[in-house]
């Protein structure tokens, strides 16, 4: 169904107008329900177009003054204060028109978080209920799930004493980019993943979500706040993670701030899709409206554009073929975009894209653009996307499992070379460069991982540098350096060892999950069944099948390497066995990834957030007022410096 805007002037009769209003109301209700349940069907730009059209045709329509949906799977709880939605400004001109109407002496400006709204209901400082947005008046009671989330406080404490507060505290449940990438990359975006987890009946995965707060209001008639900044500072003192805010004294300052935030948003750990601009003075009667008038959502510049799909290229990564869409150039957030990954054949088919069709390209604060929707106009110019049937390297018939298209030939040159490069990267053989690996592979000297460990300085020297101007002794020294690097990387954890084999579905972090589940030796991993793998958190049936098949395929070489060449350090033997670390801020002597590698190599694990079971928070600013430092203090977690961390690690 086309959602393109109707030209209001072309609605020739009241009957046409009435029919269109009815159609728009039905569409908006449908898309609102799917959006708030984490199953968005259309892009934000398409939804906004429908909303604006209905507003122009019927500004008093009831749909425009209601929000959200509920799931039907939880007990329903009424909000303390209606949870409305905001007026929108899509550009500086619309914002200036709103600002001119109100002429505030000061504007309080906050990030507009792109997550799922949640109302925490407290009685005398104790958390009683956590309620989703729902329809704006009534939402789902997900208290049990919320108690597992980072940032949800069971008791309000200030200066060590329980705060006698009865009322609501609102925030946005978000999933950080690092959590999404590590655990939920199969979900379209952080918002959808967060929505799905918070509505799970068993609550599994909610510990990976974070609540960022932005509002508080009493229900006992006291209303302790008259100023928005005062309210945010109070939330912060209670221990909540709060939304960043800025006080601006003129509309142009707000516009300039918006531009600066747009520039840095890709560096943030969570998604934002605009700013919320409010009057600094709190007016509760306005806040209680379904669509408050004294605040506005100042959206970022268009991050969605419509283009035409011209072709699909197939990128080969190892033995896996990934479809890449090539479309007419569009400008997104100041960047020219012409390509976007389609992930796999299943995703491509689910989108329904065809050569010649229109596509909605999005870039929601992410660096990598993607196609969100296909628009079909039945013009007769569209054609199906051809899917390759044979490997372009070895000629073998490709296997199409839907979730991946790959070459099944384990002797395919592309697959072997990719595995060799993966091993060097994961195991961190620093002086063995990509070009040298390719040269050794093409010569036939290195055709499997084990071959790295039989290389000698004498046979490596001719491969090292081909330029005649390089003296023989320098070539020999370079070769010796490479051999030394190879020999230095023979002791490693089971997770690093397995991840180095480039098995789809088993990266280092996912292997750590298997180890934690009891598959903590190579023999146990290799004897693991698909059913056992699927029972481990983070492994669905399809991924379990791929992982187990990959382990079987590489079992012989794994056993050979582990029988004498490589020493696998058991997790129980590590200095950091059972310890968890979180790194925050800038490190001086190494990159964060290197520090995390030290932890894993010593049997420990790393977290991206501060939780009650964390062993250490590592930061070079131990006196910082950051949310992570505050949480560490709240939970009694030791905060140590980089130097102290290295001392613990024996470095």
Can you state the angle between helices 434-443 and 413-427, rounded to 10 degrees? 140
Query: Is 280 in contact with 301 (CB distance < 8 Å)?
Result: no
Report the number of secondary-structure helices (H) and strands (E) in the chain: 22, 26
The rounded distance, in Å, linking the Cα atoms of 595 and 573 is 19
**306 three-class SS:** strand
- Neighbour count for residue 434 (Cβ, 10 Å): 12
Do the annotations mark residue 606 as ligand-binding?
no
Q: Is residue 46 a known part of a binding site? A: yes
304 labelled as ligand-binding?
no
Distances, alpha carbon 373 to alpha carbons 26, 287, 308, 362, 471, in Å: 20, 35, 12, 9, 59
Task: Decide if 485 contacts 431 (C-beta within 8 A).
Answer: yes
Contact 451, 429 (CB under 8 A): no
Residue 208 among known ligand-binding residues: no
Is 133 annotated as ligand-binding? yes
Q: Helix or strand or coil: residue 328? A: strand
The residue written with tokens 């480039």 in the block is: 502
Q: Is 594 annotated as a binding residue?
A: no
Q: Are strands 138-140 and 157-158 parallel, antiparallel or unpaired?
A: unpaired
Give the C-alpha distances (Å, rounded to integers) separating 288 from 21, 68, 104, 114, 217.
27, 16, 20, 22, 11
Candidate list 101, 112, 363, 559, residue with the active-site label? 112
Going along 219-303, which residue ranges are E strands? 245-248, 272-279, 295-299
Is 634 assigned to a binding site?
A: no
Residues 6 or more apart whose Cβ sits within 8 Å of residue 467: none
The helix (run of H) or strand (run of E) holding residue 338 is strand 335-341
Check the annotation: does 253 bind a ligand.
Answer: no
In the annotation, is 311 catalytic?
no
What six digits make up the tokens of 503?
Answer: 């098995």
On whether 278 is known to bind a ligand per the annotation, the reply is yes
**299 annotated to bind ligand:** yes
58 is in an annotated binding site: no
Cα end-to-end distance, the chain, whole Å = 63
Please tell me whether 85 is known to bind a ligand: yes
Q: Is the distance from CB of 130 to CB of 120 less than 8 angstroms?
A: yes
Check the annotation: does 452 bind a ligand.
no
* Tokens read off for 482: 């490479």
Q: Pull the structure tokens for residue 344.
A: 């796999």
220 is in an annotated binding site: no
* Cα-based distances in Å from 234 to 79, 173, 228, 277, 603: 21, 20, 10, 19, 40
Contacts of residue 299, defined as CB under 8 A and 6 or more positions apart, other chains included, come to 88, 89, 90, 112, 273, 274
Distance CA 391, CA 374 (A): 28
SS3 labels along 40-97: CCCCHHHHHHHHHHHHHHCCCCHHHHCCCCCCCCCCEEECCCCCCCCEEECCHHHHHH
DSSP-assigned letter for residue 5: P
DSSP type of residue 396 = P
Residues identified as active-site: 112
Detail the residues annotated as belonging to a binding site for Zn(2+). 391, 394, 407, 412
Q: Which residues are annotated as a binding site?
A: 44-48, 85-86, 110, 133, 172, 278, 299, 391, 394, 407, 412
Residues tagged in the binding site annotation for NAD(+): 44-48, 85-86, 110, 133, 172, 278, 299
């Amino acid at each position: 169904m086309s959602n393109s805007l109707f030209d209001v002037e072309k609605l020739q009769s009241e009957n046409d107008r009435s029919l269109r209003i009815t159609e728009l109301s039905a569409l908006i209700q449908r898309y609102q329900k799917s959006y708030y349940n984490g199953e968005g069907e259309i892009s934000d730009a398409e939804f906004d177009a429908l909303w604006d059209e209905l507003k122009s045709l019927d500004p008093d329509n009831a749909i425009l003054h209601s929000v959200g949906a509920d799931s039907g799977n939880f007990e329903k709880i009424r909000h303390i204060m209606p949870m409305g939605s905001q007026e929108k400004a899509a550009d500086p001109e619309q914002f200036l028109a709103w600002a001119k109407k109100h002429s505030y002496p000061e504007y309080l400006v906050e990030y507009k978080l792109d997550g799922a709204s949640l109302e925490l209901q407290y009685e005398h400082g104790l958390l009683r209920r956590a309620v989703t947005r729902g329809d704006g008046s009534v939402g789902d009671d997900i208290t049990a799930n919320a108690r597992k989330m980072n940032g949800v406080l069971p008791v309000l404490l200030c200066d060590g004493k329980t705060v006698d507060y009865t009322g609501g505290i609102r925030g946005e449940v978000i999933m950080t980019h690092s959590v999404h990438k590590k655990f939920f990359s199969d979900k379209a975006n952080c918002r959808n993943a967060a929505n799905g987890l918070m509505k799970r009946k068993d609550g599994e995965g909610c510990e990976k979500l974070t609540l960022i707060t932005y509002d508080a209001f009493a229900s006992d008639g006291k209303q302790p706040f008259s100023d928005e900044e005062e309210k945010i500072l109070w939330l912060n003192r209670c221990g909540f993670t709060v939304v960043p805010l800025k006080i601006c004294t003129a509309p142009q300052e707000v516009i300039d701030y918006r531009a600066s935030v747009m520039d840095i948003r890709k560096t943030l750990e969570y998604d934002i899709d605009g700013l919320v601009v409010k009057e600094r003075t709190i007016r509760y009667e306005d806040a209680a409206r379904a669509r408050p008038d004294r605040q506005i959502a100042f959206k970022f510049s268009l991050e969605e554009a419509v283009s035409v799909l011209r072709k699909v290229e197939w990128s080969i990564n190892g033995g896996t073929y990934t479809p890449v869409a090539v479309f007419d150039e569009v400008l997104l957030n100041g960047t020219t975009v012409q390509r976007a990954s389609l992930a796999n054949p299943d995703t491509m088919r689910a989108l329904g894209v065809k050569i010649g069709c229109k596509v909605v390209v999005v870039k929601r604060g992410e660096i990598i653009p993607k196609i969100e929707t296909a628009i079909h106009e039945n013009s007769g110019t569209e054609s199906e996307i051809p899917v390759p049937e044979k490997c372009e390297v070895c000629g073998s018939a490709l296997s199409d499992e839907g979730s991946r298209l790959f070459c099944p030939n384990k002797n395919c040159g592309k697959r072997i070379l990719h595995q060799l490069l993966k091993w060097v990267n994961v195991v961190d053989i620093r002086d063995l460069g990509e070009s040298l690996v390719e040269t050794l592979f093409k010569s036939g000297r290195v055709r499997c991982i084990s071959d790295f460990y039989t290389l000698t300085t004498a046979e490596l020297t001719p491969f090292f540098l081909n330029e005649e101007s390089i003296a023989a002794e320098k070539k020999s020294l370079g070769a010796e350096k490479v051999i030394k690097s190879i020999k230095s990387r023979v002791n490693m954890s089971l997770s690093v060892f397995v991840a180095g084999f480039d098995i789809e579905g088993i990266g280092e972090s996912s292997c750590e999950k298997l180890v934690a589940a009891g598959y903590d030796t190579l023999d146990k991993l290799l004897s693991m069944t698909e059913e056992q793998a699927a029972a481990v958190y983070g492994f669905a049936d399809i991924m379990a099948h791929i992982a187990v098949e990959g382990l079987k395929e590489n079992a012989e070489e794994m056993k050979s390497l582990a029988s004498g060449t490589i020493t696998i350090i058991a997790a129980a033997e590590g200095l950091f066995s059972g310890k968890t670390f979180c790194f925050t801020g800038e490190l001086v002597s190494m990159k964060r990834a290197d520090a995390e590698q030290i932890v894993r190599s010593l049997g420990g694990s790393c977290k991206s957030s501060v939780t009650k079971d964390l062993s250490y928070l590592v930061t070079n600013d131990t006196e910082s007022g950051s949310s992570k430092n505050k949480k560490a203090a709240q939970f009694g977690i030791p905060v140590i410096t980089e130097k102290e961390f290295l001392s613990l690690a024996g470095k």
